[in-house]
Amino acid sequence: MTQIPTFTLARTGDQIPALAMGSGTKHRIKKKAETDNPKETATEELTQLLTDAITYAGFTHLDTAETYTTEVEVGEAIKRSKVDRSKVWITSKYDSGWRVEYPASTPSGPYEALTKSLKKMDLEYLDLYLIHSPFFHPDISYITVEEAWRQMEKLVEDGKTKNIGVSNFNTEMLEKILKVAKIKPQVDQIEFHLYLQNQSPGVVQFCQKNDILVEAYSPLTPILPHRITNGGPVDELVEKLIKKYGVTKNQLILRWVYQSGVLPVTTSSNKDRLKEALGMFDFTIDKEDFTELTELGATFHYRGFFNKYFEEGKI
């Protein structure tokens, strides 16, 4: 089984596995359509997939969130896998809301939210807890981002999570937290791929300068035909490079993310595809090929999430 390398988190020195299995959008949508009470009810299909991700594919990092409604499956998968809790890194996220129709699930803030999530997952602690979105407004989040961060720090102090961070934050929102933080954010999870190398201006460089690890959701976007419907500028080069390195498209694209110093969060409904993904650690993209991929990718722009908010300058 492939040995998964790690990134080191600057504040704690904790070793975070460099590839995560996500249980987000596609799993949330399917679960919502099939389950009457998705937040409290574990589906057998997803529970088994997450179990297979651990025991068959070899994943050691599972990513979930309050808004995904998949925390309960993550907890069940840990039990079913019979793997020692300390051997699997668990990340979840506080649902801070993102528009009036979708306010924060837990109005009092992240402290109560994680307390409920831990009970739901039957876990004593998380390895990493993130604020899911930066859209803090009285009618959506009910508290300020500064108050939310104070609660996040209290979660660390009380042993409910080992590390804290954010998701979808731009430099302005990160600076707000850094000004008041006793415990600095360890991670910013953003949409990141060849066609979106900065979710917001300069955010990757800002994070790297401030010892904040960048995680990438939707890293495979450039090779997904339902998103890039008419093809993109890296297509021809990708075909050439998968032959050169003897790898799959998924492995090549995930490897590019990893070699960018970014932790990819990937997903699939197929346990063999999940196992295949770990092959990204079995080769290295040459410097010249990496540069060509990066430069070609930068000539095309595609954003899959929060388009309206970026266009209006709200993120």
Residue with tokens 């088994």: 48
Alpha-carbon distance of 62 to 17, in angstroms, equals: 10
- Would you state the structure tokens that stand for residue 287, as one six-digit string? 């410097």
Assess whether pLDDT exceeds 70 at residue 314: no
Across the chain, mean pLDDT equals 92
Of 105 and 240, the structure prediction assigns the larger pLDDT to: 240
Assess whether pLDDT exceeds 50 at residue 34: yes
Which residues are designated catalytic? 68
Q: How far is CA 241 from CA 2, 195, 279, 293, 311, in A?
A: 22, 18, 15, 10, 34
Element (H, E) at 150: helix 145-157
Mean of the pLDDT values across residues 84-104? 86
Query: How much is the pLDDT for 315?
Result: 46
Residue with tokens 């300069």: 202
Q: What is the percentage of the chain residues whose pLDDT exceeds 70? A: 91
CATH superfamily for domain 16-227+261-268: NADP-dependent oxidoreductase domain (3.20.20.100)
| End-to-end CA gap in the chain | 40
Assess whether pLDDT exceeds 70 at residue 198: yes
Q: Is 132 annotated as a binding residue?
A: yes
Residue with tokens 């699997």: 88
190 conformational bin, left if phi > 0, alpha if psi -120 to 50, beta if neither: beta
- The 10s digit of each residue's pLDDT in 66-76 is 988 899 999 99
- Would you state the structure tokens that stand for residue 307, as one six-digit string? 């388009």
Query: How much is the pLDDT for 31?
Result: 58
Residue 36 burial (CB < 10 Å; 0-12/13-18/19+)? exposed
Query: How much is the pLDDT for 27?
Result: 59
Mean of the pLDDT values across residues 307-315? 60
Query: How much is the pLDDT for 60?
Result: 98
Find out whether 114 and 71 touch, Cβ atoms under 8 Å. Answer: no
Find out whether 167 and 226 touch, Cβ atoms under 8 Å. Answer: no
Query: How much is the pLDDT for 201?
Result: 86
Going by C-alpha positions, the residue among 119, 97, 108 that lies closest to residue 147 is: 108
Alpha-carbon distance of 81 to 62, in angstroms, equals: 13
Query: How much is the pLDDT for 28?
Result: 56
56-60, 102-106, 140-144, 263-267: lowest mean pLDDT where? 102-106
- The 10s digit of each residue's pLDDT in 241-257 is 999 999 999 999 999 99
- The 10s digit of each residue's pLDDT in 287-296 is 999 999 999 9
Query: How much is the pLDDT for 1?
Result: 62
- Would you state the structure tokens that stand for residue 192, as one six-digit string? 């990141």
CA 2 to chain centre: 21
Going by C-alpha positions, the residue among 291, 315, 251, 259 that lies closest to residue 2 is: 251
- The 10s digit of each residue's pLDDT in 135-161 is 877 777 788 999 999 999 999 999 999
User: Which residue type does 47 have?
Assistant: T
Assess whether pLDDT exceeds 60 at residue 312: no
- The 10s digit of each residue's pLDDT in 229-239 is 999 999 999 99
Alpha-carbon distance of 223 to 231, in angstroms, equals: 8
Query: How much is the pLDDT for 97?
Result: 77
Alpha-carbon distance of 128 to 224, in angstroms, equals: 29
Element (H, E) at 94: strand 89-94
Segment 199-203 long-range contacts (CB within 8 Å, at least 24 positions apart): 199/168, 199/170, 199/303, 199/310, 200/170, 200/171, 200/310, 200/315, 201/170, 201/171, 202/171, 203/169, 203/170, 203/171, 203/174
Query: How much is the pLDDT for 33?
Result: 57
DSSP tag of 193: B
Of 107 and 255, the structure prediction assigns the larger pLDDT to: 255
Assess whether pLDDT exceeds 90 at residue 271: yes
17-26, 213-222, 256-265, 283-292: lowest mean pLDDT where? 17-26
